[in-house]
Chain A
């Protein structure tokens, strides 16, 4: 029997192993949130009858998605509390005050996932949401996970998710003006990440 040279054997082994391992490594992909294409909107009842909409204009974060092993995925996001924008400067000042977000005490709203699992059309993400200095565990279903190259031909791959979440502001210690401003806050997220 013809003997295989040792050097060739090692090269072949390395090539074989890298071939086996690389799909696993490639499956967990990290994306940095693109602030221009990521949106954080919310709505809250006024006087119990109408929905008033607002958004946070400044945020940052990242997510890692492992399509083969959703449990290995993670999401992280920080939002600048002072960037709240409801289209009314005076109201925004009030929302930044100790009556609501108290941005000079708690300048950031944060979310950090603690568990991710597969869900229909996306992921079910559980994590710690910190608002007004108080942390609660919440679960949000993120739909999507589609990818696209944008700008076309740039090689810049993007992945996006959308989700909605309802919280009670009183759970986060914001209990003032309950009559005029509702307790339940609907949060709408549109996340677009750029592959790193």
Chain B
């Protein structure tokens, strides 16, 4: 089980990083908007990097394993697109196709060279046909893009209190972390929790920004990293497809807060925010709780708390 040493490194440092980046953005008077928009993807990327370091999973080159491909290929590509998207004047019609491309390539990159795509000795998995591969890549892209577009749309609605968006994403990261942790890949779960800590730190720091904290910028990077970790958990550990889907699509439940009855109560914006957080937490809990119960049962039947 992770101890206090990991809590300081894997949770504390990402949280402080998120907080400091947002405070730095708040200090840049003239460039506050773009700086805040850049702070979110930087915090999430930094959170994952620190999280990997905290669990002694520094990526290797050549990137022969999925964790290393997440770091060396997916993370820089997503970071580049999100930083580009944070720059004022960059047309949206350039950014969104690039985001779609990352979502489409995510599964293919992470599964590269695995038993799903390459015939290997002792493999029990039948190599996927081109059609099956296409279906998986499109499915994964849809699962990443749907919550991304939904949360972006919520953020773009001027009257909507969007401060709950990073908290919703933190709940998704928490769910992914616990799910992966209890599904046979402890380090993968811990890395997702580091992303959660970075989001919480950024959320706290966003209070220093007078006019919001460019919350839409928090969405892309966090969703791509969470999806990447869930894909690794699904195809290389024991995360089940329904549980992974429930966690990844949980942000869609946040649309409940957009029902007109709640949305019109502008005098109480916290209400819509609270409804959003609770709505996201419900599918996440449905996915995670059975796993946690099973994990705790397994741990209780062992003599030591880490199963070893």
A positions within 8 Å CB-CB of B: 46-47, 52, 58, 78, 80-83, 88, 90-91, 93-94, 96-99, 102, 104-108, 132-134, 173, 175-178, 180-181
Contacts and interface: CB of A to CB of B under 8 A. Distances in A.
A82 B115 CA distance: 12
Contacts of B114: 104-105
Interface stretch (B55-63, B86-94, B129-137, B168-176): B55-63
B122 A82 contact: yes
A58 B122 contact: yes
Contacts of A99: 184-188
A98 B185 contact: yes
B187 A177 contact: yes
Given A90-B298, A176-B55, A176-B56, A107 B236 contact: no
Contacts of A107: 115, 120-123
| B interface secondary structure, majority | loop
Given A90-B298, A94-B307, A177-B186, A105 B122 contact: no
A93 B184 contact: yes
B224 to A, nearest CB: 18
A133 B64 contact: yes
Nearest to A91: B307
A82 B124 CA distance: 9
Top 5 A-B pairs ranked by shortest CB distance?
Answer: A80-B122, A97-B237, A97-B184, A133-B64, A97-B185
Contacts of A97: 184-185, 188, 236-238
B188 A98 contact: yes
Contacts of B27: none
A90 B113 CA distance: 26
Contacts of B187: 98-99, 176-177
Interface string B98-115: 000000000000000111
B82 interface: no
Given A78-B122, A94-B186, A97-B185, A175 B57 contact: yes
Interface residues of B, number: 34
17 contacts: A46-B308, A90-B184, A94-B184, A97-B185, A97-B237, A105-B115, A107-B121, A108-B120, A108-B122, A132-B65, A133-B64, A133-B65, A173-B60, A175-B56, A176-B56, A176-B186, A180-B308
Nearest to B5: A179
B144 to A, nearest CB: 20
Given A104-B235, A133-B64, 20 more contacts: A52-B308, A80-B122, A82-B122, A82-B124, A93-B184, A94-B185, A96-B184, A97-B185, A97-B236, A98-B67, A98-B185, A98-B232, A102-B236, A107-B120, A107-B121, A107-B123, A108-B121, A173-B60, A176-B55, A176-B56
A173 B236 contact: no
B237 A98 contact: yes
Residue from the set A80, A94, A104 with the largest chain B CB neighbour count within 10 Å = A104
B124 to A, nearest CB: 7
A94 B306 CA distance: 11
Nearest to A181: B308
A139 B232 CA distance: 34
Contacts of A181: 308
A104 B116 contact: yes
B66 interface: yes
Contacts of A80: 122
Contacts of A134: 64
A83 B55 CA distance: 26
Contacts of B232: 98
Nearest to A44: B308
Contacts of A52: 308
Nearest to B69: A105
Nearest to A50: B308
A132 to B, nearest CB: 8
Contacts of B302: 88
Contact of A102 (B65, B120, B123): B65
Residue from the set A58, A90, A96, A175 with the largest chain B CB neighbour count within 10 Å = A90
A143 to B, nearest CB: 28
